[in-house]
Structure 1
């Protein structure tokens, strides 16, 4: 791994972020991780990436706006910070910015302004919940925070430097497009998909259009089986649902406790059991 910079940390708040679980995850990583290509096909807020800071990695997400944020952080940190500094923390302004993706001219908005919009909405929306509707439009409400950290200048510069000084490929696509590549056997894949719900009311799949169901989880299991057959090591995080336990019964499964602070229902926040699934000891 590269020399770690303590200022490299997630710049977005993300549902299911792994920052608080890094102690448990780190203990279960392959010992020779520094010799492997790191691949994260559901990068989300990037907590694991920021903790590990590999020199060579492929990060992927189906959310094109998210990948654009990382590309802009890498290539245009000064312009991004200037744009973020222009935002206002008022409900009227928030809903004006939120509505931009309803406008047919949104496609003409620059990549820098789009990245600035996503970070601003993430920092000021209710509970930091990145959520889109079936049309792919951001629909989280205003959060009414007094002093949100919209301009995380040290964090943006540190992450930008990390991206530029290392070989980090950024891909906006379905996870299978990346994992079906001819990856070297010395690859480690960390998989953090939408979790299978513990109940019918706990499901959350609002990062991108569409959703995840049992069929989607089985498709991912098939891809994990393919990685195993190719000799590629993977670690997956998922919920402790009995369906997931049964699906991966032939793999090594560890249980961990995670405190979840992002949920639209206050009573659903708190310590919950999650699973870490591996195809290695």
Structure 2
């Protein structure tokens, strides 16, 4: 039910967002992610959902990113996590304090000067609500909607120079409603899976891809690195989950190492576009989908 204590000025958007979720729940929905993320799976959502089991217990996504698959599944019991602290803070604030978050964003300006002042803020001096507003604002106004940090964890993408509104209240409100039944953790994927994965759960793994070219690895968009040893360890976790009785889908690059690690499972090749590339001619790619336990 809609909480009638919610601010009056948000009632129209909230009602529409609520009705959308009520209509879709618990079937596949069309809820859009409120963030654009490098390596996001919006393009692959339909391909991935072809292999989602018709019924399962919990949904777990430990590399949440923009959450395209999480939002499209609209499952009643979900667990999401990520090692990116700023990202998880943002998800929690959208879940718990969406109205206060919107109020802060309403005071932001889509100008180059305001952008660089906001980008330069020391996040350690900000509240979690302010950190979440900052991330959403930068994500919506930066160049090509690309989240990227340097090795120190500092956001370093230039201003996008796009006019027009950057705040979509209905998307944030709808995401907040959706997140109410979701557990959110700032954690390593192994810990989340060890503590929560059980027989009959569906788990989607979207790790940093194994690079197949000079600029093809998405790990450069976060301060946490993912090496070959990490890919090998992840493959072991994948196999353990399948042996436990979980349904698991993993995405990665069509790299010889990845093909070898998952050679005993069903493999699907998906043609995709790389929307984060500044050069339209290079916005093509191939994604590998690994399916286990289905």
Give the SS at the match of 2:219.
coil
C-alpha displacement of 1:8: 2.6
Provide the secondary structure at the position in 2 that maps to 1:137. coil
The correspondence for 2:48, drawn from 22, 25, 31, is 25
Task: Give the secondary structure class of the aligned counterpart of 1:20.
Answer: coil
Q: Deviations over 1:187-236 (max 9, x none)?
A: 11100111111113322313431322211211111211221222222100
Q: Residue by residue, what CA displacement relative to the aligned partner does 1:101-131 show, whole Å, maximum 9, x if unpaired?
A: 3xxxx32311111100000000111111101
The equivalent residue for 2:154 is: 137
Q: Secondary structure at the match of 2:226?
A: coil
Pairwise CA RMSD: 1.8
Q: How does 1:1-281 map to 2 (within 5 A)?
A: 2-4=25-27, 8-33=31-56, 36-101=57-122, 106-147=123-164, 149-164=165-180, 166=181, 168-181=182-195, 183-270=197-284, 272-281=285-294
How far, CA to CA, are the matches of 2:292 and 2:54 in structure 1? Answer: 14
| Separation in structure 2 between the aligned mates of residue 5 and residue 112 of structure 1, nearest angstrom | 30
Contact 1:43 1:61 in 2 (8 A): yes
Given that residues 5 and 158 in structure 1 are in contact (C-alpha distance below 8 angstroms), is that contact kept between their aligned partners in structure 2? no
Q: CA separation in 2, counterparts of 1:186 and 1:6? A: 22
Aligned position for 2:14: none
* CA-to-aligned-CA distance 1:130-168 (integer Å, 9 cap, x gap): 011111111111111122x4211000111111222x2x1
Separation in 1, partners of 2:245, 2:41? 26
What are the ranges of 5 or more consecutive residues in structure 1 without an aligned counterpart?
none
CA contact (8 A) 1:124 1:143 kept: yes
Tell me, which stretches of 5 or more residues in structure 2 are unaligned? 1-23
